[in-house]
Structure 1
């Protein structure tokens, strides 16, 4: 089964010892497997009642496998061997992990950045099939991506309908419109599964299977794990991991996740969305902080930080401090973390299946697109970077380094910094080096997210979780904008509204937001990296 295992020390071990016996006594594992929607309290019953299909996804999804493989073979026979996935949040993160771990090519388009969209359009269009994944089809990012690809196929003399595959809930608006449009195939996912729990449904399997993943083996792995994870047993790893995530006392709500040779590529990014969006609400929650090896956070001795190490089954470990180490194969780990997150929700006293604060940023972005207000003048301009901030905390800072220093000065002892880059995550990947440098300078946990995709992930925690975050938002002028067919706004205008809308909502929550706009993307990024390097060398 991929030898699922967990080891724990310090506060993690204490949480397991404190909570697992009661979880076993309350038969939480078997009740989750039986889809008992009463586990999370009366307020959660309505939502939980329609969101527990994931517990049997490995079995329910079986009939999809031959359909997916048949379509893959047909496409390859036609010379169509490049799969582009248009999807956000759970619709894209799981397929990306599954495909990257299997070593097969899948182009994930989870951005509205015009540069990133242009790059996806420019490569081997004649060999491309587009998978459009959305539960409702109303997601503005996914709809925009579909529109521009459909136009590109047509302009290239290709049959657009034959190059578009849809994954959606049965009876959704996109289900009907896709069938009317005559798209190549429409796959319906289980409507009783939320997006972030959908890894083993059609949302995870269709793009991965078309790209060449052995999805049958993935389901075999998960199905075998499901039997063990449903046992009311003190050794149930899902109960132990759930206790670690949601049951430390006092709550260690910054979960630093580092991959140390697990063999699962990008798993922490998928777990980040699952945990943050599921738990970050009602002023509580757990913030995953995805880091690389040797990250500064690994040495933080802070009462709100817990280290999770993703390791291989063969790893020889010596745990000290407050740590947990988890190993297992991909299919088993997907189900493990879903179950553990549900358990953590019970311990935290929240509903792990809703996302009440995600809509706020979407509404603000729509309002800005409709109203088209003037962009406020920057408080300062430092070479290629415009500096904007909410409130008085910026003071007299008029350089990038000074502005970041002022932002970090607002961090409390239990706070965190969130870096949010609304740019091309492939073309400007060098910005990810900002994260460890800022963590070193601040001596506090730092998350890094690419906009707008993080809005479907940690975005919920930022608004619904503890109000202790400070935010560094990075935007950039597009070298060349890109129109969205039959829409009154461009991709550049859309991503700008998404960034401004989220900053507005964060400011309304009383949090400091520093907005750095790169007038020239390359020069501005280089300047920003240099400024943060100088900051971290001197620390605070």
Structure 2
């Protein structure tokens, strides 16, 4: 796979070369592999105990036989569905594998549930056969509020189902010594996979958090690991960082960001579209702090070159044999217009294993070049704390705190009045995904991009809180935040809690809005009402030239008799 960057100008090329030479001179690659925390910061906090991703592949290779046996036992138990309950690093890697590969013949269907929106929870609940479903409860900390709320719901559902097997239908994936490990033991879970603890969530896709779901999907886990191991060895190259694929990508992203091109825009072959979900968290949560960071742009519609500002750096993942005609035309146009493009070629789907490791290593290198700590997430806790305060208020007052919201069109107009070069718009949607919602959000992103030449991101809440949320608060103050919240009706109770899933989701949305405002981030909240798709389409119409022109026309364009006489 080619690893050379394709920057648009000679100065950028020279800056990348100098940066790679600096990496060689400072022995950054060697020091990374010896786990020298001073590569990033003088203090070892959350660095020395977060570098296990460098070597976890060895442990996973040793566990291959166990994973195969486990997956085969699930098939023999006639499991038809697997529901993964996780957030952030516990869910996004499996979601990419689910969307990219799908289940092998005879393997169960995988559902990744990382939301508290009641409609989303109900959607998965209705889709499965509870008595023949295996639930993966995945949490590094072992106490994530979303995961434990979902566990309570499905534990209750299973025990109300005829023919259930109780705890034998649950599997835990967690770190040693967590509350989830104890819960699994007390409730009689079928298995508990104890992950290597020195791995941060967003670097955990090649550990049990990603490979247990991969095995259940029927993937060739050995092949996936083999590709990752090949990339790991390539990322050990120290004598010439120019030959180190992770170092080249990381240095290029950082140099481009320092030159104003901090919007890392992913363009992929159609089959690889979901890869951006994982990259978003990796880049945003790792680099979005101290007022700087890489802003990942994934899932955006490919547009004409003139639509993009000078803050873009394009990275293309092209899968051999995929439907690439549209992608190739777009890349050719971008290249001709002088936009910088970094090209990565995948021979088959299993090259994703290599890309997972390449991007992990590149992110660590980019963190070094940008001078930030790529393994902590200092601002993520704020929204969690705000959510807890809102829930406490609900408990004491019996309702969510009142917050006036302007009409949707007015709110959007107020937000986009602040549009300016190098800004971006983040759409934060607390609603239930479906093809119509997805299409409406894509249309909204494109309308904003075409009208204002702004980069756009879109994330479903509360998923994004564990993904891009760190960047929103700790990264550069260039984001404009549009929070879209549906009515959460009909709601769904959470067993043994005084609040419902809908209340929890509303509290998370409100808590994050409070956090954004506390960091002086421009943010508005819009109610999607009873028909979310219709409301989003109305926002699209507000930005569409034909709609704007029609609103400016008078009620009738036919002149009155007196006007005709005046003209004569």
Q: Sort the Cα spacing of 1:15 and 1:449 in 2 relative to 1 into closer, same or farther, 3 A.
A: farther
Structure 1 residue 228: deviation in Å? Answer: 0.9
| Residues in 2 aligned to 1:400 and 1:497: alpha-carbon distance in whole angstroms | 20
User: For residue 171 of structure 2, what is the aligned residue in structure 1?
Assistant: 165
What is the TM-score when the length of structure 2 is the normalising length?
Answer: 0.86
Which has the higher mean CA deviation after the structures are superposed, 318-327 or 370-379? 370-379
Q: CA deviation at 1:243?
A: 1.1
Structure 1: which 5+ residue stretches go unaligned? Answer: 380-386, 389-398
Counting only pairs closer than 5 Å after superposition, residues 272-311 of structure 1 correspond to structure 2 as: 272-295=280-303, 298-300=305-307, 302-311=309-318
**C-alpha distance after superposition, 1:263-283 (max 9, x if no partner):** 434111111110000000011
Map of 1:106 onto structure 2:
110
- What is the rounded CA distance, in whole Å, between the counterparts of 1:368 and 1:269 in structure 2? 28
The aligned counterpart of 1:476 is: 486
The secondary structure found in structure 1 opposite 2:489 is: coil
Aligned twin of 1:417: 425
Pair 1:268-2:276 in alignment: yes
Q: Deviations for 1:321-364, whole angstroms, at most 9, x for unmatched residues? A: 22222223101100000000000000110000000000000100
* CA deviation vs aligned residue, 1:345-399 (integer Å, no higher than 9, x gap): 00110000000000000100010001126656665xxxxxxx44xxxxxxxxxx4
Aligned pairs for 1:186-201 within 5 A: 186-201=192-207
2:493 is aligned with 1:495: no
Written as runs of structure 1 = structure 2, the 5 A alignment for 1:101-500 is 101-104=100-103, 105-123=109-127, 124-157=129-162, 158-232=164-238, 233=240, 234-248=242-256, 249-261=258-270, 263-295=271-303, 298-300=305-307, 302-312=309-319, 318=332, 319=335, 320-328=338-346, 329-372=351-394, 379=404, 387-388=405-406, 399-426=407-434, 428-433=437-442, 434-500=444-510
Distance, in Å, in 1 between the alignment partners of 2:505 and 2:25 is 49
SS of aligned partner of 1:272: helix
The 1:484–1:15 alpha-carbon spacing in structure 2 relative to 1, beyond 3 Å, is farther
Residues 277 and 458, structure 1, Cα contact 8 Å, conserved in 2: yes
Query: CA contact under 8 A between 1:58 and 1:220: conserved in structure 2?
Result: no
SS of corresponding position for 1:106 = strand
CA distance in 1, matches of 2:299, 2:540: 17
Write the distance in 2 (CA, Å) between the matches of 1:539 and 1:447. 24
Q: Which has the larger radius of gyration?
A: 2
SS state at 1:333 partner: helix
Partner of 2:64: 65
- Asked whether the 8 Å contact 1:165–1:186 carries over to 2, the reply is yes
Following TM superposition, by how much is the alpha carbon of 1:241 offset from its aligned partner in structure 2, in angstroms?
0.6
Q: Show the counterpart of 2:560.
A: none
CA root-mean-square deviation: 2.1
Structure 1 residues 292 and 467, CA gap change in structure 2 (3 angstroms): closer
Compute the displacement of 1:33 (Å): 2.6
SS at match of 1:59: helix
Cα separation, 1, equivalents of 2:33 and 2:219: 27
Q: Counterparts of 1:303 and 1:7 in 2: how far apart (Å)?
A: 17
Do the aligned partners of 2:411 and 2:525 also contact (CA within 8 Å) in 1?
Answer: no
Given that 1:15 and 1:247 are in contact with CA atoms closer than 8 Å, whether structure 2 keeps it comes out as yes
- Shift in CA distance, 4/226, structure 1 to aligned 2, threshold 3 Å: farther
Alpha-carbon distance in 1 for matches of 2:300, 2:310: 21
8 Å CA contact 1:116–1:426 kept in 2: the answer is no
8 Å CA contact retained: 1:219, 1:331: yes
Q: State the shift of 1:37 in Å.
A: 2.2
Shift of 1:215: 1.1
The residue number in structure 2 matching 1:41 is: 41
C-alpha deviation, 1:301, in angstroms: 5.0
User: Using the alignment, how far apart are the partners of 1:265 and 1:409 within structure 2?
Assistant: 31
User: Using the alignment, how far apart are the partners of 1:250 and 1:9 within structure 2?
Assistant: 12
Aligned to 1:9: 7
Q: How far is the alpha carbon of 1:468 from its aligned partner?
A: 1.9
Secondary structure in 1 matching 2:362? helix
* Structure 2 spans left out of the alignment, 5+ residues: 104-108, 549-568
Q: Is the 8 A contact 1:440 1:539 kept in 2?
A: no
Q: How far is 1:55 from its partner?
A: 0.9
Q: Against the structure 1 CA distance between its residues 302 and 14, is the aligned structure 2 distance closer, same or farther, given a 3 Å change threshold?
A: farther
Equivalence for 2:566: none
Deviation of 1:19 (Å): 0.8
Pairwise CA distance, 1:485: 0.9
